[in-house]
Amino acid sequence: MSRSKAEMRAIFDKVSNWGRWGKDDERGTLNYLTSQKTAVAAQLVKTGQTISCARNFPVHPGPENPTPALHHIVMGGDDPCAHGIPGMEVSLDFIGIAYHGLASSHIDALCHVFVDGKMYNGFPATEVRSTGARRNSIMAARDGICGRGVLLDIPRLRGASYVDPKQPVTPQELSDAETTQDVRVQEGDVLLVSVGRDAFREKHPPMPGDGPLLAGLSPDCIPWLFDRRIAVLGSDAVHDSTPSPDPIEDWTIPVHMCGLVAMGLHLLDNLYLADLEKACAKARRWEFLLMVAPLRVEKGTGSPVNPIAVL
Amino acid sequence: MSRSKAEMRAIFDKVSNWGRWGKDDERGTLNYLTSQKTAVAAQLVKTGQTISCARNFPVHPGPENPTPALHHIVMGGDDPCAHGIPGMEVSLDFIGIAYHGLASSHIDALCHVFVDGKMYNGFPATEVRSTGARRNSIMAARDGICGRGVLLDIPRLRGASYVDPKQPVTPQELSDAETTQDVRVQEGDVLLVSVGRDAFREKHPPMPGDGPLLAGLSPDCIPWLFDRRIAVLGSDAVHDSTPSPDPIEDWTIPVHMCGLVAMGLHLLDNLYLADLEKACAKARRWEFLLMVAPLRVEKGTGSPVNPIAVL
Amino acid sequence: MSRSKAEMRAIFDKVSNWGRWGKDDERGTLNYLTSQKTAVAAQLVKTGQTISCARNFPVHPGPENPTPALHHIVMGGDDPCAHGIPGMEVSLDFIGIAYHGLASSHIDALCHVFVDGKMYNGFPATEVRSTGARRNSIMAARDGICGRGVLLDIPRLRGASYVDPKQPVTPQELSDAETTQDVRVQEGDVLLVSVGRDAFREKHPPMPGDGPLLAGLSPDCIPWLFDRRIAVLGSDAVHDSTPSPDPIEDWTIPVHMCGLVAMGLHLLDNLYLADLEKACAKARRWEFLLMVAPLRVEKGTGSPVNPIAVL
Amino acid sequence: MSRSKAEMRAIFDKVSNWGRWGKDDERGTLNYLTSQKTAVAAQLVKTGQTISCARNFPVHPGPENPTPALHHIVMGGDDPCAHGIPGMEVSLDFIGIAYHGLASSHIDALCHVFVDGKMYNGFPATEVRSTGARRNSIMAARDGICGRGVLLDIPRLRGASYVDPKQPVTPQELSDAETTQDVRVQEGDVLLVSVGRDAFREKHPPMPGDGPLLAGLSPDCIPWLFDRRIAVLGSDAVHDSTPSPDPIEDWTIPVHMCGLVAMGLHLLDNLYLADLEKACAKARRWEFLLMVAPLRVEKGTGSPVNPIAVL
């Protein structure tokens, strides 16, 4: 359903968690994921199979990767003693990445997005200085995120291999997926919603010159996510349809804006979920232990991550 | 006990796992950490408390950090619409790091060290090209490492706050710590051996101009580690005394060399263990679920990591 | 005229300067640019107008820029005292670039290209280690290149605004441009050959998905360049037609291969020559003082540069 | 003579060029270096010897280099066809640098320093955004700086090999050097003042743990520099004594502050002048053509440079 910007503003206000955990809170919905919930989640492990939910470090240029990551060998097997220390033969490398965007599996800190010059819990955008974020940095998640993961497989629900980018996921579909998958999203969960991004690209490889085309959630899903009190939201794409088939003036990335800013909901972008989808379908079970460990960048706006599902 | 280089070579040969898992194996002792062991480890979780075992991203220069990591804000709160997309206010950053060394919490891939021009399982060092590692890259651990973590707290054993760098840890001490801590290191474990690095530096801050001074394991520990068939070894320092109080000609970093190259044992360097030590002592329990998730760098020699212990 | 690979090999051998300046020479045709010639070139200055021949630092992604350069503000006007030193307000930045390619104005060192595993003067390609170039690095030009610059304006010769990429420049055209421009290319010169790259792109902006399309010199020009004993060759494109309208098996970039490797001719790629073309046409004079100052990267394969023409 | 901060403020106001070239001027004293002066300077060339005034790209950590530059081989001679294009064997590298500081030869743009939140010509410091400098960027010098270079060799004046860091250079010494060297600093010149930094370090290598120790100009020199209407000021150190033997409250780097901000005087830091000193002494001539070519970083706060003196 097409939304006006006034309606989006109303949704934003309705799903706001500002002040819920105190005026200085920087953790947002991570507060729902208590130690107790972590302990319960650990009990979900059955086979012990570990599945990565990340893409490879995105060093290759491409339509969805205009600023590729850097991976440089600093010392290789052709000169392993170059450091000059006798009795030591090593290889060394360097990695560099501006991980926000469409190519890298990463987590957004709550300072990554602003609405009208404010971030989660009302801190001014200017608290993200040229020298780093003074509020809402990724350090909010420095001890890791370890909880109950739930995968809602929307392509499976639709009987297709992917979600058509022109048909964003609806809240009714989130509930229907729960039903068909016999799983219920609960407070403190790390919810992964799959849109079959990679299956889409296999069927529809980008033509030379194509821009990005990623399926996403309808903004209508935002209240659903709020009501379920999830701790973190993840996707194999970027949550927001990119581009939107139904753009809303001033609200280019509504899920990011309402999620990160209003709800204080950390987001996992560009995950790789095809392996997890297969494993869950095979086990007929879509809940598991999920672990996400951001790098501890003191004033960072997020981090590349490799979330691990344990079945 | 001081070792000759011939003795070190004999140890190296004795702890070799080359061929144990086939001539093309690149996972080494990760093979000990089966799904079954992961499932059993998940049962260790009691309170659900999560504790990071990593240091902050090492951006500050220092005696142990001559090539600091890079953290640059690419777009901050003073120019959040610079990308030109209306209705989108964001902050973005870039991180870069050559993570090997003494400052960054990271995992060494099996291609990081060579002995006589060969890496684990006999692959030539030249397989680590200027363009990346063709063998034994960090992709061996791409699905994460999730297993039983055991912390052997050696300062606690010694009744001190840190291990004196001139008195490396002995294998007898590893066994004694097991006894006093009532925990036994088993096949497939992720073993963390603490030397109280940070407590040492608190008591003995580096004087201007001091070089590094890190306590480590005596090379005599190497057969002990081999016999226990651990999957991964971690430390709050770098395993090898740096510098060694008892250097062995041609064997500058014996634990690294015998571990990574002979045993195929992945190593976690420069962890931060002070918080974990306290929590374990309080709970009087030194086993826990431990999860390590390297970034999936396709030809990488390792990765910065933030290992998470779940108690 | 279409060349076979045997013919290319013959040209390569014919234009070889290996051994001409001794078996250890790493400067190649820079040897032609003597102090004496520099002094004579300084006399060419008339008005003193300085014109940059470089493009802006290529930070914007694009079809010809798949791995853009990095420019990050490290400390900006919103936090100028972050360094903690009282009485000091500063802004700081970081630049990073892998400058080879089609986007950055740069100079190629003689170690940048190999033919059959050898670089200029027969040094093995393996002398360019993962740790840097041990031979033929950019340090050969560390004291700058300051000499007589000559611009051959081929679009002007053809009465067009650009060279059609399907009609590479011929040696006869190089001579004809000399005639119509009343200038003669001499030993020790820095020769700039303009193909109107930017005018071409203005008329023919790349369609979404287009690959690169750059006009260049026919391989037939190679003996002409050798005979004139120029010191350096520059272009607003990359010398070699990209892609070639007449590819030669095994010789993808013949001018680079014969130039850098056989002749020891340093190359300037991706210059911006439109301003220089205009100024020369206005003054009716196509010779000037030209200065190129590579960064002194000790084992570098080249450098970003901003060549300055002084009229 | 020790200055109070009120006196420094008075000097600052006295040497201000704000508004001299219009309220929107961003070039400052570069305006003194006209084409005419460039043409005259070219006539200074006698032997044509070119001498680099730069240090090597600072990749090695050290006391004066806490954040070393990056130089990474991206593709080396051990894998020159890794790009997959047949018939092309290449080596490629990457460089990265945060060049401000004490180690890199670089030019400061006028936006590099602020006094009381303002840069040259009164633009607010906040015009240097997290996304780059909107005013007074290095693009003011994009067409290169090519003019009369004058070297004042202060160690030579003092009959020593270096200037004692505890005895900053006085304005009387600048005039005396002119006399003994029979050269007069004129409007539009690029003035290089040598303090023998490298000779000092040869005699007094830093002890482990030493901080920086660089000789500089007394703040009393500032009016002298203003009166002479020089275009650019260069040094083999950083102009300001570091640390100052006579610190002035609120004025940590007075030459930088009065130079860049009040006068609009571009600065060249950390040059290497030992070779130029020798050549000038041998020729008994301390004026020459000098060329500086910053990289064209569109919103940069400066650039690494390799200034070339042509004798």
Three-state secondary structure call for residue C266: strand
Q: Minimal Cα distance from B85: which residue of A?
A: A252
Q: Do C300 and D71 touch (CB under 8 A)?
A: yes
**What pLDDT score was predicted for residue A3?**
84
Question: Alpha-carbon distance B104 to A95, whole Å?
Answer: 13
Q: How confident is the model at residue A2 (pLDDT cuts 50, 70, 90)?
A: low
The Cα C171–Cα A65 span in angstroms is 41
For residue A149, report the phi and psi dihedrals to the nearest 5 degrees.
-95, 140
Is C80 in Cβ contact with D298 (below 8 Å)?
no
As to burial, measured by CB atoms within 10 angstroms (0-12 exposed, 13-18 middle, 19+ buried), residue A187 is middle
Of the candidates A114, A96, A90, A145, which has an alpha carbon nearest to the alpha carbon of residue A294? A145
For residue D99, the model assigns a pLDDT of 98
Q: Is A95 on the interface with D (CB under 8 A)?
A: no
**CA A241/CA A228 separation, integer angstroms:** 22
Q: Is it the case that residue A280 has pLDDT exceeding 80? A: yes
Contact A227/A178 with Cβ under 8 angstroms?
Answer: no
- Grade residue A209 by pLDDT with cuts at 50, 70 and 90: confident
pLDDT at C116: 97
Q: How many CA atoms lie within 13 A of D309 on its CB side?
A: 28
Q: How far is D134 from chain B (nearest CA, A)?
A: 11
**Residue B166 at interface with chain A, using a CB cutoff of 8 Å:** no
Q: Do D73 and A72 touch (CB under 8 A)?
A: yes
What's the gap in Å between the CA of D207 and the closest CA on chain A? 21
- A72 closest CB neighbour out of D77, D94, D130: D94
Of all residues in chain A, the one with the smallest CA distance to B57 is A297
pLDDT in tens, D9-39: 999 999 999 999 999 999 999 999 999 999 9
Helices (H), chain C: 5-14, 35-42, 154-157, 171-181, 197-203, 221-227, 254-256, 274-283
**Beta strand segments in C130-278, E:** 132-133, 145-153, 190-194, 232-235, 266-269
Q: Kindly give the parts of chain C with pLDDT less than 50.
A: none
Whether D1 shows a pLDDT value over 70: the answer reads no
**pLDDT digits over B255-272, tens only?**
999 999 999 999 999 999
B78 touches chain C (CB under 8 A): yes
Distance CA D147, CA B106 (A): 51
Q: In which residue are the tokens 């040969």 written?
A: B13
Residue C61: its chain A contacts at CB < 8 A? 66-67
Q: pLDDT tens for residues B106-143? A: 999 999 999 999 999 999 999 999 999 999 999 999 99
How far apart CA C227 and CA D272 sit, in angstroms, is 37
Chain-chain contact of D50 with C132 (C-beta, under 8 angstroms): no
Q: Which residue, chain included where needed, has tokens 């501006």?
A: A98
- Residue D168's closest CA among D107, D114, D108, D222? D222
pTM of the model as a whole: 0.97
From C126, which residue of chain B is nearest by alpha-carbon distance? Answer: B130
Cα C149 from Cα C141, distance rounded (Å): 16
Can you tell me the mean pLDDT for B208-218? 91
d(CA C2, CA C218): 9
Question: Taking phi first (over 0 means left), then psi (-120 to 50 degrees means alpha), and beta for anything else, what does residue C239 get?
Answer: left
Best CA proximity match to A176, nearest among A196, A209, A153: A153
The C-alpha atoms of residue C255 and residue C249 are separated, in whole angstroms, by 14
**A207 to chain C: closest CA residue:** C209
pLDDT digits (tens, 9 = 90+) for C167-206: 999 999 999 999 999 999 999 999 999 999 999 999 999 8
- Please check whether residue D210 touches B, CB under 8 A: yes
The SS3 assignment for D9 reads: helix
pLDDT per residue over B272-295, tens digit each? 999 999 999 999 999 999 999 999
Contacts of D282 (CB under 8 A, 6+ apart): none
Residue D35 with chain C: CB contacts under 8 Å: 47-50
Burial per residue of D285-305, b for 16 or more beta-carbon CB atoms within 10 angstroms, e otherwise: bbbbbbbbbbbbbebbbbbbb
**Partners of chain B (3+ Cβ pairs below 8 A):** A, C, D
Are the beta carbons of A136 and A110 closer than 8 angstroms? yes
Q: Which residues of C touch B130 (CB under 8 A)?
A: 129-130
DSSP, collapsed to helix, strand or coil, labels residue A234 as strand
Q: Give the pLDDT score at C208.
A: 75
Distance CA A144, CA A121 (A): 21
pLDDT of residue A1: 55
φ/ψ of residue C156, rounded to 5: -60, -45
C71 vs A62, higher pLDDT: C71
What pLDDT was estimated at residue C209? 77
Closest by Cβ to C78, choosing from D38, D126, D297: D126
Task: Determine what percent of chain A is predicted with pLDDT higher than 90.
Answer: 95
User: Does D27 reach chain C within 8 Å, measured CB to CB?
Assistant: no
A129, β-bridge pairs: A132
Determine what percent of chain B is predicted with pLDDT higher than 70. Answer: 99
**Residue B244, burial from CB neighbour count under 10 angstroms (0-12, 13-18, 19+):** middle
* Interchain CB contact of A304 with B (< 8 Å): yes
A160-197 pLDDT, tens digit per residue, is 999 999 999 999 999 999 999 999 999 999 999 999 99
Site of tokens 């991203």: B57
CA distance B281 to A39: 19
Of C204, C259, C277, the residue nearest C53 (C-alpha):
C277
Bridge partner list, A266: A232
pLDDT of B1 strictly over 70: no
Nearest 5°: the CA angle B176, B179, B185 is: 90
pLDDT of residue C87: 84
Q: What is the pLDDT of residue D2?
A: 67
User: Within an 8 Å CB–CB cutoff, is residue B84 touching chain C?
Assistant: no
Residue B136 near residue B126, CB atoms below 8 Å: no
CB atoms near residue C24 (< 10 Å): 8
**Distance of alpha carbon C80 from alpha carbon D113, whole angstroms:** 9
Q: What percent of chain C has pLDDT over 90?
A: 95
d(CA A300, CA B91): 10
φ, ψ dihedrals at B195, nearest 5°: -115, 10
Alpha-carbon distance D202 to nearest alpha carbon in chain A (angstroms): 23
Average pLDDT of every residue of chain A: 97
